[in-house]
């Protein structure tokens, strides 16, 4: 199911980003409407309901059974959050801010945050923003904290894989999912560090313990 959410997000993002960069009126208008939803719950703006075609979510699962209401709702929320954050990021930018992740060009959230930092240094205030996002208690709070990060990425023209993010936001909403997503963001953060140190041919680093970068939610510095 996570793969389906990622694929649908990629389809939407590719179409809208291509249209926006080609100055197509429909895509420009859609982006203006979408960015108003950044950091806000999916059902709060009825004006956006017709923009996200979620028909693909009604495809049968691999086991043949239809998606449950919970699966549908969480998938729709993940798509809404990722696409509206992209719209905020893309505003007034002449190149596509959504770029697919590749080992030689890490585009995950952690890597994007690390790219904002000075070479060979860790900006603790930026790191704490990532930590606070990772420790968000619910999707609405997470979307709001991600909005703050995306505003910084937009200012510095740092790219992000929003289709990957959509899949992670879907995973986030399930039991144990937040922990897995935090680990993925931590790996991404270290992948960019490794990429800068070793050059573009270096593969992503091996998974490790990320607790030093994403501390427990009880850490006072994350509040």
Domain containing residue 89: CATH number: 1.10.520.40
Among left, alpha and beta (phi > 0; psi -120 to 50; other), residue 37 is alpha
Are 108 and 188 a contacting pair, CB within 8 Å?
Answer: yes
- Residue 160 pairs in a beta bridge with 98
Structural domain span for residue 109: 2-222
Number of domains, the chain: 1
Q: How far apart are CA 9 and CA 85, in angstroms?
A: 12
Q: Is 5 helix (H, G, I), strand (E, B) or coil?
A: helix
pTM of the model: 0.84
Evaluate the CA torsion angle 33, 169, 6, 56 in order and state its sign.
negative
- pLDDT tens across the length of the chain (223 residues): 898 899 999 999 999 999 999 999 999 999 999 999 999 888 787 778 778 777 777 765 666 677 888 999 999 999 999 999 999 999 999 999 999 998 888 999 999 999 999 888 889 999 999 999 999 999 999 999 999 999 999 999 999 999 999 999 999 999 999 999 999 999 999 876 655 554 443 333 333 333 344 433 333 333 2
């Amino acid at each position: 199911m996570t793969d389906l959410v990622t694929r649908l997000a990629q389809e939407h993002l590719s179409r809208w980003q291509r249209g926006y960069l080609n100055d197509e009126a429909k895509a420009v208008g859609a982006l203006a409407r979408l960015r108003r939803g950044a950091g806000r719950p999916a059902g709060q703006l009825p004006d956006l309901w017709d923009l996200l075609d979620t028909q693909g979510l009604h495809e049968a699962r691999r086991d043949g059974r239809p998606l449950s209401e919970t699966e549908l709702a969480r998938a729709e929320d993940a798509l809404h959050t990722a696409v509206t954050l992209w719209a905020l990021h893309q505003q007034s930018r002449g190149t596509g801010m959504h770029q697919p992740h590749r080992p030689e060009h890490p585009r995950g959230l952690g890597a994007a945050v690390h790219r904002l930092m000075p070479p060979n240094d860790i900006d603790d205030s930026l790191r704490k923003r990532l930590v606070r996002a990772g420790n968000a208690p619910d999707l609405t709070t997470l979307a709001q904290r991600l909005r703050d990060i995306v505003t910084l990425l937009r200012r510095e023209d740092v790219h992000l894989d929003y289709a990957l993010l959509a899949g992670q936001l879907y995973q986030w909403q399930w039991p144990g999912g937040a922990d897995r997503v935090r680990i993925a963001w931590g790996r991404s953060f270290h992948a960019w560090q490794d990429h800068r140190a070793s050059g573009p041919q270096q593969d992503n680093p091996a998974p490790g313990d990320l607790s030093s970068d994403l501390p427990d939610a009880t850490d006072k510095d994350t509040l």
